[in-house]
Structure 1
Amino acid sequence: MADPKGFLTTSREEWPRRPAEERIRDWDEVYVPGGLLPIVGAQADRCMDCGIPFCHEACPLGNLIPDWNDLVARSDWRAASERLHATNNFPEFTGRLCPAPCEAGCVLAINQPAVTIKNVECAIADRAWEEGFTPPQPPDRLSGKTVAVIGSGPAGLAAAQQLSRAGHTVVVFERDDRIGGLLRYGIPAFKMEKRHLERRIGQMRAEGTKFRTSTVAGRDVGAAELRGRYDAVVIATGATAWRELDVPGRKLAGIHQAMEYLPLANRVCEGDLEHSPLSAEGKHVVIVGGGDTGADCLGTAVRERAASVTQLDIYAQPGADRDEDVEPWPVYPRLYRLSAAHEEARDLGSAPAADADARLFAASTLRFTGDDDGHVRSLHLVGVDAGRRPLPGTERSLPADLVLLALGFSGPGRDDGLVAGLGLELEPRGTIARDREFATGAPGVFAAGDAARGQSLVVWAIAEGRAVAAAVDRHLSGGHTRLPAPVGPYDRPMRV
C-alpha cells in the first residue's frame, strides 16, 4: 500500500456530479468532466491492501482491486490498466453502471465509508484509452473453428472478445440495428455515453470479431443454419421477457413497459428520431418499480420535461446505515441510495406527492382508471406492510398520463423461435437450462448472461461472458483452455 495511513487521513470523496439544473438540459453523463482525476489518487490511497480482500469475493470478475489501487496511488497508470484489463473486458462500462458490490465488501466498510473502487476503476479505464494502453489484441493464428454469439449485450460482447482473442472466428448476431443490446438502447446516455461502447466495438472489429446487425437469430437465420454453419453457438440474448402488472385498467392506452419507453429516448439521442412517440413531455408520469430500470425511466422523464414524475417502490424505505443483524458485512445491503436521477427529481421538485426524492415507498398498485377515450388518467395505490399486505385507510390516487412498468424480467423472449428451434430446455423460472460447463441440452450450444442466470448486474454479465468463452474454447480445443473462468453457472452473489 502506498500510504499505510491513507484510510485514516483521507475522507471518502466521490466523482462530483454536475448541478441538476444543468445536466437535465442535456443527455451527457452526469459527472463533472475531468472532476475525477484530481481526487482519484488520494482515494486509491485509502485502500488498506487487506490480507484477505473481500472486495475480490464480492466482485464476480475477481478484479485485482488492491493491486490497481496501489498502482493508481503511485500514478503508474499503464500497470494499473494491465491489472484491470486482466480480469475485466469493459471496465469503462462497469465503472459507470455497476452498483459496486465490491465496495460493500471492502474491509474498510466495516466501520468507515468504503474505498471508491468504482471511481478508481473508471479513472483507470478512461486514462487507458487516452494514453493508448488498450490496443487491439488480434490472435497470432486462427484455430479454424467458428462461433456464433447471439446477442451483443455485455455477456455476448465479453464472450465474443475472449473467443476472438483465443483465435476462433466469431460472428455476433444482433436483432437491433446497432451493436450493444441493453447497453445501447436500455441504458440512458446520461449514465453512459455511447462513445464508450463504440470504442470497444472498434477494438473488437480490429481483433477480428464480425458483427451482423438487424438479424433475428431463429427467424432471419434459423436454428438449423446456426448449428450447421458454426462449431459452437453461444446464446446471450439477455432477459427480455418483461414482467406484467395484472390489475384492472392495464389495457388502457398510455401504459407501457419501461423497455418500450427507454429505447425510443435512446434513439432520439442517436439521431434516429426527432421526438419520441412516448415522450413524457408535459405529462404526469408514474413509474411502477423501484429498481435501476425505474430510475433510468425517471431520469429520462425529467429530461423530457414531464409535468411530474413519481416512482413507486413496493418495499419500505430503507435506512441510511447497514443493519448488521439482517445484512451483515460483507453482503450488499439494501440502503437508501440517491441515484443521479433521484437527486434531480428531489432538487427540481418533480414529484410533489413522493415520500423522498421521487419515490413512494411501500406502495402497491391497485388499478388504473382512464378517460372516455380509453387513455389512462389515474393510478390508484395502497400502502402495504412488509408482507405486501394492504394497509386499511391508505388508498390514494395519482394523476397519470403515462405509466411505465419497470418490474423486471423473467428470462429470454421466445417470440423469435430460437429457443424452440434449438430445442432448449427452460428452468421453471423461464431461464435457459445449462450444465456446469454452460452447455445446454443441444450439442455445441451454450448459454450465458441474463438469458440463463436471470436478471442480474452488468458485472455478472461480463463475468459470465468470460466464463462461457472458456467453456466454449475447451469444447473446441479438445478439453483444454487458457481462458479464465471467473464464475460458474451456479455461482450467486453473497447473500444472507
Structure 2
Amino acid sequence: MGKPTGFLEFARELPVDKDPLERIKNWDEFHLHLPEENLKNQAARCMDCGTPFCHTGELISGMASGCPVNNLIPEWNDLIYRGLWKEALERLHKTNNFPEFTGRVCPAPCEGSCVLGINNPPVTIKNIECSIIDHGWDQGWVTAEPPEKRTGKKVAVVGSGPAGLSAAAQLNRAGHWVTVYEKGDRPGGLLMYGIPNMKLDKEKVVMRRIRVLEEEGIKFICNTEIGRDITAEELVKENDAVILCIGAGKPRDLPIEGRDLKGIHFAMDFLTANTKAILDSNPEGLISAQGKDVVIIGGGDTGTDCVGTSVRHVCSSVTQLEIMPKPPEMRAKNNPWPEYPKVYRLDYGQEEAAAKFGDDPRFYTTTATKFEGDDHGDVKAVHTVQVEWQRNQEGRFIPNPIEGTEKVIPAQLVLLAMGFLGPEQLLLDQMGLEKDHRSNIKADYDDYATSIPNVFAAGDCRRGQSLVVWAFNEGRGVAQRCDRFLMGYSDLPK
C-alpha cells in the first residue's frame, strides 16, 4: 500500500452532509465530497491487511459480508492515495458497471467486513467509491464504448432495474444486440421510481448512465409490459435468448381491521407517485403527506425513504413502527465480524425527522393491531401494541403482544413498508415457468436457467427481495451464462 501506516495516522472522516433542516426544503442530493487531500488520507487507511474480506461478497448468517460485485477495493484505494484517479476508475469499472449507483444507495457491506473495522472505525469505502466515479464523470472519462464487433444474436431483457441494466450492459459488451423492455414510462426500474430523488438523482445520475448505454447500442422500450402488450411467446420466438429481471414487486400487506380505509397505501406506490410528480412537474396522482400525521409501518431503506419524503411534504408528524427490537449501539456477541453489523443507525430520513420534530420517529417492538376510520371512510388513527419476541413450540421466534401497552396514534396517512413477497405472477403463469417455494422463478444460482430453454432469470425475481448490489451481481452473472449459451463460451467476467 502507498501508506502502510495510514490506518494508524488518520481517523475515519466523512464529508459533512447538508444541514437536515435545509435539505428537506428540496429534492436535491445532499451528500458532499471530501477535498482531495482528505480523501487521499482516507484511502491511506486501507491497511494492506493480507486477506481483504471487503471484496469477498459472501453470505454469512443470511446477510452480505463484503462486496457482492467483488470490487477491487484495496487496489483503487491505493491508486487514490497515489493520485491516480483515472486508473482507479478503470479498476472500479472492471467489477462494477454502475458505481455511481452503488456509491449512493448501497448499505456498504464492504465496510462491515473491513479488517480495520475489527477494532477501529472501518475505511470509508463507499464514499471513496462514489468520489472516484463522480470525478470520472466530471473529467469526461466516462464515455460510450460500443463493441467493435456484433455477433448477430438478439437478447431481450425484461425489466430495466439494477439486474436488467447490468445484464444488458454486459451482453452488449459481448457484442449481442440487446433490447430492454420496461413497463414503466422511464427506464431504471427500482433505481428510477423506488428510490427518492434526494438519494439518487434521476436526471443527473440515472438518466445520464442510461444515455451512455443507449449510445453503446442498447435499445430501451418503455411503456411495454411483457405478458400484456407483447406476449411471452412472441418475445421468446423473436429472440435468441430472454432474460427476466422483473424484480419482486408484490408487496407484503397487513390484513388487519380497517385495512380498506382510504389513506392506507403501500410504500412503493407512495414513493413512485412522488418521484413521477417531480419528474413530470405534475402533482396529478401524488399521494401527499402535507399537513398529515403519517404512520409508516416497517423499517429498512424503504421505510427510511418514506420518512424523508413525508418530511419534505411538510407533514404534521411522522411515526415509524418497527416490529423488531432496537439494535444495540455496538456489535452483539452473536453478530461478530465479518458479518454485516446489526447496530443502531440514524439514517438520513430519521435524522431529518429528528431535526424537524425533536426525536427519532421509530418505535421498536411495536406493531399495528387495527386501523380506525372516520365517518367518511378515511383513516384517522392506528392502534398499536408492544410485542415481546419469544420461541413457540416449534422453536421459532414469534412476536407476542404485551398486555397494557396498547396505544392509539393519530394518522391521516399510513404507509406499509413491510417488504415484498416475490415477483408479480402474471408473466410467470403465462410462460408456465417453474417456481420455488417462495413463488420466485426457479433458476439455480450460477446457472440462472429457468425451466424453459433459452429463458434466464436474475435479480429479485429469482433470489427474492435483496440489495441493489446483489441485483448487479446477478445481472453480471446471468449475462455470462447467457453469453455462454449463445456462443458456447464466454469471456465476460461475473
**Range into which the TM-score falls when normalised by the shorter chain:** over 0.9
2:274 and 2:286 in contact (8 A); partners too:
no
Match of 2:361 among 341, 358, 362: 358
1:229 alignment counterpart: 238
1:376 alignment counterpart: 379
1:488 alignment counterpart: none
Per-residue deviation, 1:16: 1.6
Q: Work out whether 1:159 is the aligned partner of 2:162.
A: no
Per-residue deviation, 1:276: 5.2
Per-residue deviation, 1:9: 1.3
**Counterpart Cα distance in 1 of 2:456 and 2:31:** 38
Match of 2:198 among 187, 190, 198: 190
Match of 1:461 among 457, 462, 471: 471
1:36 and 1:119 in contact (8 A); partners too:
no
Per-residue deviation, 1:477: 0.4
Report 1:74-473 matches (<5 A): 74-194=82-202, 195-274=204-283, 277-323=286-332, 325-349=333-357, 357-387=360-390, 388-414=399-425, 417-436=426-445, 437-473=447-483
**Counterpart Cα distance in 1 of 2:34 and 2:354:** 23
1:10 alignment counterpart: 10
Per-residue deviation, 1:320: 1.3
Report 1:55-74 matches (<5 A): 55-57=54-56, 58-74=66-82
* TM value normalised by structure 2: 0.94
**Counterpart Cα distance in 1 of 2:365 and 2:75:** 42
2:469 counterpart SS class: helix
1:491 alignment counterpart: none
1:155 and 1:461 in contact (8 A); partners too:
yes
1:16 and 1:36 in contact (8 A); partners too:
no
**Counterpart Cα distance in 1 of 2:82 and 2:210:** 31
Per-residue deviation, 1:133: 2.1
2:485 alignment counterpart: 475
**Counterpart Cα distance in 1 of 2:341 and 2:335:** 6
* Cα deviation 1:16-51 (Å, max 9, x = unaligned): 21001110000001223x546453211111100221
Runs of 4+ in 1 over 4 A off after TM superposition: 34-38
Per-residue deviation, 1:319: 1.2
Unaligned runs of 5+ in 1: 351-355, 486-496
* Cα deviation 1:108-138 (Å, max 9, x = unaligned): 0000000000000000010111112222121
1:384 counterpart SS class: strand
**Counterpart Cα distance in 2 of 1:221 and 1:399:** 45
Per-residue deviation, 1:275: 5.8
Cα 1:174–1:272 change in 2 (3 A) is farther
**Counterpart Cα distance in 2 of 1:51 and 1:227:** 48
**Counterpart Cα distance in 2 of 1:14 and 1:287:** 29
Q: How many residues of Structure 1 are paired with residues of Structure 2 in the alignment? A: 475
1:138 and 1:207 in contact (8 A); partners too:
yes
* TM value normalised by structure 1: 0.94
Identity %: 51
Per-residue deviation, 1:141: 0.8
Per-residue deviation, 1:386: 2.5
Per-residue deviation, 1:397: 1.0
Report 1:29-44 matches (<5 A): 29-32=29-32, 34-35=33-34, 37=36, 39-44=38-43
Per-residue deviation, 1:271: 2.5
Amino acid of the residue matched to residue 41 of structure 1? K
Cα 1:36–1:381 change in 2 (3 A) is farther
Amino acid of the residue matched to residue 12 of structure 2? R
1:492 alignment counterpart: none
* Cα deviation 1:211-242 (Å, max 9, x = unaligned): 10000011101011011000000000111011
1:94 counterpart SS class: helix
1:314 and 1:361 in contact (8 A); partners too:
yes
Amino acid of the residue matched to residue 127 of structure 1? H
1:196 counterpart SS class: helix
**Counterpart Cα distance in 2 of 1:46 and 1:16:** 19
2:261 and 2:378 in contact (8 A); partners too:
yes
